[in-house]
Structure 1
């Protein structure tokens, strides 16, 4: 998708309602479906924010950024995600969290990013985080400088997200799931599942309207 076409479509749906949980659950692991809103509220989840950053590449095609997390002793080690993280006491709002974390993790300064839309919150059961995702754009291809939290930079074509052939499922085993099939996107030879896939599903549905 040419970046100017992407911007035009963004303007069209900027004030349209989101797909919400209905969009997210299309790519949700079965574990996530067992958490109704009342149960989530009762767990008093920690808050976090992430940024889906879109930009033109050298061919003026629209891409967005994913990162591969570094390996660490935690529930989300080495997973594919958007840049982002937990809120800080100095963050004035969730948008500030997403922008700060994006700068810290991949080196894109906040002044270069325009926040276009906030997506639906996404709950992550294993770590008890409730995440506020944002769509942001920058009008030039960034020079990413990842920090120690990021193992790799993944630049995905928007057209690949919209391609139904990149929807799949995979049998997975993690510290909290044993040999179950989970829906996923296959993007740039990476498996994208869980909360990140759920957020991407809502973005995809916006553009498929």
Structure 2
């Protein structure tokens, strides 16, 4: 089965979760979520082809990469963290997919006409900022230049090979100490970047559902700010 077919299969399963937000485990949940009062947001998980190849529906997971943004260090929330392009759903957005595409264009300059939306995953809680986030899966069939559109918000835009993210040597557990408690999340060390927190949790869950995850040593911990 190709990577695209595996993605479509997972999306199909997630349709059954409609209206039932996914909750985080207690050891990675920094604060209680107010589901009733949570704001809606969407992020774009954009799969492209690694290297100079053109994206095709027959590619395997190792042939793909993902698009990320590194938040500016001056931001009030999530400063310096790596994230998917995305943000709050505005009233004029038709649906979460439209919001994710709009935010991706605003943050990275990506031409959204070159992206096919495959579908969405179930809403996932983001307790720190009290958002319910819909991950939208995109297929980048016609690539365009990407860059930090607003340096005040994004320090960098980069692509990470899925093969590198699946490599057990690049997987660690990110640890945060707050108010006498220890919180953990999956983390990925790729290309000089550390992807952790909510973004890494979503990736970890997706890779596991896809059957792509390779056994890795979760006892390898790094301290996060």
Name the one with the larger helix percent.
Answer: 1
CA distance 1:17–1:41, change in 2 (3 Å): closer
Corresponding residue number in structure 2 for 1:195: 198
Give the alignment partner of residue 49 of structure 1, picking from 42, 55, 75.
Answer: 42
8 Å Cα contact 1:29/1:194 also seen in 2: no
Task: Give the unaligned 5+ runs of structure 2.
Answer: 54-62, 213-225
8 Å Cα contact 2:14/2:122 also seen in 1: no
Separation of aligned partners in 2, 1:67 and 1:29: 27
User: TM-score scaled by structure 1?
Assistant: 0.80
User: TM-score scaled by structure 2?
Assistant: 0.75
How far did residue 178 of structure 1 move? 6.7
Task: Give the unaligned 5+ runs of structure 1.
Answer: none
Separation of aligned partners in 2, 1:165 and 1:106: 29
Write out aligned runs for 1:11-26 (5 A): 11-17=8-14, 25=24
How far did residue 49 of structure 1 move? 0.5
Corresponding residue number in structure 1 for 2:216: none
Separation of aligned partners in 1, 2:118 and 2:38: 26
Give the alignment partner of residue 4 of structure 2, picking from 4, 7, 11.
Answer: 7
Separation of aligned partners in 2, 1:192 and 1:178: 24
How far did residue 40 of structure 1 move? 3.2
Q: Deviations over 1:62-91 (max 9, x none)?
A: 111111011234121111100001111211
Larger RCO (CA within 8 A; separation ≥ 6): 1
RMSD (Å), alpha carbons: 2.9
CA distance 1:5–1:140, change in 2 (3 Å): farther
Give the alignment partner of residue 155 of structure 2, picking from 151, 155, 164.
Answer: 151
Separation of aligned partners in 1, 2:26 and 2:191: 21
